[in-house]
Every structure is written in C-alpha cells, then in structure tokens.
Amino acid sequence: MVASRETYGTEFETQDLLLNVGPQHPSTHGVFRMVLQVDGEVVKDVIPHIGYLHRGAEKLCETMDFRQGIGFMDRTEYLAAFNAELSYVMAVEALADIEVPERAQWIRMILCELNRLSSHFMFMGAFGIDVGVFATPFIYAWKEREQILDLFEEVAGDRMMYAYFRPGGLAWDVPHNFKARVREVLKSTRIGINDFDGLLTKDEIFRTRTQGVGVISAEEAIEWGMSGPSIRASGVPMDVRKDEPYLFYDQIDFNVASRTEGDVYARYSCRMEEMWESVRIIEQCLEKMPDYGPIMPEKMPRMLRTPPGEVYIRTEAPRGEYGIYMVSQGGNRPYRLKVRSACLSNLQALKDMSVNQYVADAIIVLGSIDIVLSEVDR
C-alpha cells in the first residue's frame, strides 16, 4: 500500500513522558524518588518525593533526656554522625551554660574533621559511579574510608552511630596512642586524595561530563538557602567555621574552598580541596591538643537539667549548615527540638539545576548535592 501525499504532510502530536527514578534506585543515594518530565532525553520538570525515611526523630528527642537524644542525631546524619552530635551537645551546653574542657574540644575538632574526610570519600566513590567511571573510585574510596572508621571504632567502640560526644565533653577518653593513630590515618588519607586526583580530576571524560552541567548562580543558591560545598561552588565562600567560629577554629589556619562556576564539577572540586584543608586542620589540632587533662567538667550531675530558654546552634557539617534549634522549659529534656537540615535546603534547588539538562545529567546533578535522606526526612 502506497501512502498518500497527505500522509507525509501529517503533523503528529508529541507528548512529554514521566520517568520515575526511585524510590529504590542506586542513583538516588537512599530512599528518594524523583519524577522527571522529559521531552525525548531533555528534562522539562522535576517532581521530588521525600518522606520515605521519616521517623519523627525531632519529636522523639522531646520524649528523651538530653543524653538519650544524642543517638537520634547519629541516625539523622549517619555519614557524619560526629558533626551531628556536635551541634546537638553544643545546644545543650549553651542552655545549661556548661564549659567544656580544652582537651575535649580539640578531640571533638579532630573527630569532626576526620568525619568530614570519611563523608567526602563516600561522596567521591558514589559520584564516580554516577558519572560512569565504574566501580574503581568506589573501591578506592571504601579503602580510605575504612582506615578512618577503624580509628572511630577504637575511639568510640562503634563504626557508626557513635554517641560519643556528651554535653560537657566526651563519654570517655581517647586511647593512649590516639595522636599516633591519627597521624597514621592521615598518611593513608593523603595517598587516597592524590589517587582521586588521578582517577577523576585529571580524567578528561569526567571533566567533560561534569563541567557546565547543573549550573546554579550565587543568587539562586542564596535564595534556596543552600550551604556547604553546594553554595561555595557558586561563588559564595560561606563557612560557619570561619564566619562564626566554634570549638577552636579561630586558632587554626585553613582556607575556605570555593569556586565560581556553580556547576557539577565545581561542587566536586570544592569537596576535593576541602579534604586537603581538613588534613591541615587535623595536623594543627594534633600539635595544639594537650596530652593530658579532663574530658568532662569536674561536677556534672547524673541527670542533666537546664533552665528555661531557647537556643540555635549551627556547625559546618560536610554537606553544609547543620543547625539545632532547642527550647527548654526547664527539666531534663527539650520541650522542642528542630533540626536544620543542610541536605533538605540543598535538595530544594534540584529542579533549577536539572531542568533543560539531559536525563543522564540529572542523575549526576543529584549526586553532586551529596544528600543523606535520613537527614532530609528526619
């Protein structure tokens, strides 16, 4: 049968398709679902769906005493639990007007920066797979991360969910060879960071896949409330450690890693530079940390109670500003607790970064935010 001329001249109607990614999908880095409206391979809209990991951690903390609530912070930001614990215990200390001993402060700094390194290693490995460099970066990242987790296990007794920071200081002292072990881990870490420079940074395919993709301007990043490497990659050098120094960061020399491009590659390279800066910070902390001294105040009650009041404490976690808003009406538990999630604020910008990108690019845009879904959902 021969088609008529009219058939060739017919204009067919096109329709956008909805592509479901998640909630159980390797590229979503957790139980997260995004529905992409696509025209061919071009993303026209992004509809995110969160809440699959909501467990009511904030409300549960209001039913627990101040020490019991620490465990919920661990499970909120499980890739950087020390950083999450720090914001929480600092909020309690501010309410109770507790002064933390100097040695405990230095140990907190070292562990938080080591946790930043382990978290960024996890990002490097997973992001390498997202971009399509296959499993090699993930294996390298896991090797380096294991060195750090082994040290955490020696200090806290666990590889995750440490519950080691306590209002007033630490649960117990670090091992006698703590400094030597940290220096041993840093030696391996330097090699690992250099490995990733060779595997990813200097890889032409990796740079081509990530440069100019998922761009967000400084103005847009500020409007969305982004923080951490995600906003610093857009030319906003905001870092709580510098802007509002806590612990002893004002006594340490370090640089804030920032870029101006605002693309996927800039977010990656910010984290890469941050890893070198974390190594510098830890080395300085080891020099300044006293070998002996208390790790808790002399007089700490068995059941901690705070006077009525409210406080907001924020720290610079690996993904950005991790904040704790805590209200006390007096007693041994918070009346109200609210977690300010860096991941949730960064995730809000996903649509702006993904629209008019290819479907394959939407995956690496999501990966470049480095979200932890249990922190998003809380």
pLDDT tens for 171-207 read: 999 999 999 999 999 999 999 999 888 888 888 888 8
Rounded CA-CA distance 44/358 in Å is: 9
What local confidence, expressed as pLDDT, does residue 12 receive?
Answer: 62
CB 361 within 8 A of CB 39: no
pTM: 0.90
Three-class SS state of 325: strand
Start-to-end Cα distance in the chain: 63
Rounded CA-CA distance 289/287 in Å is: 6
Helix axes 264-288, 102-131, angle to 10 degrees: 150
CB 157 within 8 A of CB 137: no
pLDDT grade, residue 110 (50/70/90)? very high
- The more confident residue out of 131 and 333 is 333
pLDDT tens-digit map of 10-53: 566 677 788 888 777 766 677 888 888 888 888 899 888 888 88
Q: Please determine, for residue 5, whether its predicted confidence score (pLDDT) is greater than 90.
A: no
Helix axes 359-369, 264-288, angle to 10 degrees: 20
The values of phi and psi at residue 213, to 5°, are -105, 140
What local confidence, expressed as pLDDT, does residue 98 receive?
Answer: 92
Amino acid making up residue 342: A
Domains and CATH numbers, the chain: 16-377 (1.10.645.10)
Handedness of CA 104, 109, 110, 114 (dihedral sign): positive
pLDDT grade, residue 161 (50/70/90)? confident
In a 13 Å sphere around the CA of 290, the CA atoms on its Cβ side amount to 10
pLDDT grade, residue 128 (50/70/90)? confident
What local confidence, expressed as pLDDT, does residue 27 receive?
Answer: 67
The values of phi and psi at residue 29, to 5°, are 55, 45
pLDDT tens-digit map of 226-236: 999 999 999 99
Which contacts (CB < 8 Å, 24+ apart) does range 63-67 have?
63/333, 64/333, 65/303, 65/304, 65/332, 65/333, 66/92, 66/167, 66/304, 66/306, 66/332, 66/333, 66/334, 67/166, 67/167, 67/304
Please name the residue that has the structure tokens 């340490």: 252
Rounded CA-CA distance 356/373 in Å is: 25
What local confidence, expressed as pLDDT, does residue 2 receive?
Answer: 45
Q: Please determine, for residue 140, whether its predicted confidence score (pLDDT) is greater than 90.
A: no
CB 232 within 8 A of CB 262: no
